[in-house]
């Protein structure tokens, strides 16, 4: 690789660093004990998550989340113990890989969890690839920060940011509707499909 590819890679790294500074400066105001408790559902089961070596774990930390799995010994993308989840009592849950939020909301074991009771179970966005890894994970950091702390990010327009990212790095001009679909984690036909064992 070289030439244009190297230049674009440097541009991407500069963009990531800029967004990291932007988010970091704001979430730095939040004391550790007041950071919102976040659980990421990796699927295909509601208890499957990423451990502390997973990408979303660190993106969540950068976005100001208290990632409830912490140092709990878990297999990569493996299930957390339901008793642990109930003890952690996440305030916010993000359901990734285009699984539906009903994976959590329709499971009676989750009904007492704060995120479920408070309507804070959110679908993860998804674009060219899932946002739990790959180039669009920088957008996942922005999404988590805005989802957890909307009052800290009133000027962060996620749809506009997605359009800017696609134009800059994919050389593709998204329509407003396409940006909205990506933010909702929906396929071009508007569905949020549920991949099997992915």
Distance of alpha carbon 135 from alpha carbon 12, whole angstroms:
9
Tokens for 155? Answer: 């000027």
**Could you report the per-residue pLDDT of 9-51, keeping only the tens digit for each?**
999 999 999 999 999 999 999 999 999 999 999 988 999 999 8
Instruction: List, in order of start, the domains of the chain with CATH numbers.
Output: 4-152 (3.40.50.1980)
Q: Are strands 92-95 and 66-67 parallel, antiparallel or unpaired?
A: unpaired
Residue in the structure block whose two tokens are 């989840």: 85
Distance of alpha carbon 16 from alpha carbon 135, whole angstroms:
10
Q: Could you tell me the strand order of the sheet in which 37-41 lies?
A: 66-67, 37-41, 92-95, 121-123
Give this prediction's pTM.
0.93
- Structure confidence at residue 43 (pLDDT): 87
Continuous H helices in the chain: 4-27, 55-62, 82-88, 102-105, 114-117, 137-148, 158-165, 176-183
Residues in the chain: 198
Measuring CA to CA, which residue among 132, 51, 139, 146 is closest to residue 97? 132
Distance of alpha carbon 53 from alpha carbon 67, whole angstroms:
12
Any bridge partners for residue 39, and if so which? 93
**Could you report the per-residue pLDDT of 55-91, keeping only the tens digit for each?**
899 999 999 999 999 988 887 778 999 999 999 999 9
Distance of alpha carbon 41 from alpha carbon 198, whole angstroms:
12
Residue 121's alpha-carbon distances to 20, 31, 84, 101, 158, in angstroms, are 24, 23, 18, 6, 18
Measuring CA to CA, which residue among 58, 75, 29 is closest to residue 140? 58
Phi, psi of 102 (to 5 degrees): -65, -15
Distance of alpha carbon 113 from alpha carbon 134, whole angstroms:
30
pLDDT band at 197 (very low <50, low <70, confident <90, very high): low
**Could you report the per-residue pLDDT of 134-176, keeping only the tens digit for each?**
899 999 999 999 999 999 999 999 999 999 999 999 999 999 9
């Amino acid at each position: 690789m070289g030439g244009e590819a190297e230049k674009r890679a440097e541009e991407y790294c500069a963009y990531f660093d800029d967004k990291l500074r932007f988010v970091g400066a704001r979430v730095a105001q939040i004391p550790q004990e007041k950071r919102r408790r976040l659980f990421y559902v990796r699927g295909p089961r509601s208890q499957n998550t990423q451990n502390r070596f997973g990408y979303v774990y660190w993106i969540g930390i950068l976005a100001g989340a208290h990632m409830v799995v912490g140092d709990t010994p878990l297999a990569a993308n493996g299930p957390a113990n339901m008793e642990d989840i109930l003890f952690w009592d996440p305030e916010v849950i993000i359901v990734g890989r285009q699984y539906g939020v009903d994976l959590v909301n329709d499971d009676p074991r989750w009904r007492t969890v704060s995120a479920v009771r408070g309507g804070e179970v959110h679908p993860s966005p998804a674009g060219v690839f899932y946002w739990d890894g790959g180039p669009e994970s920088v957008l996942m950091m922005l999404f988590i920060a805005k989802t957890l702390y909307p009052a800290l990010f009133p000027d962060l327009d996620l749809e506009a940011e997605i359009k800017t990212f696609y134009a800059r790095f994919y050389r593709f001009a998204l329509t407003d509707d396409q940006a909205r679909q990506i933010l909702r984690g929906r396929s071009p036909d508007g569905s949020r499909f549920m991949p099997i064992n992915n």
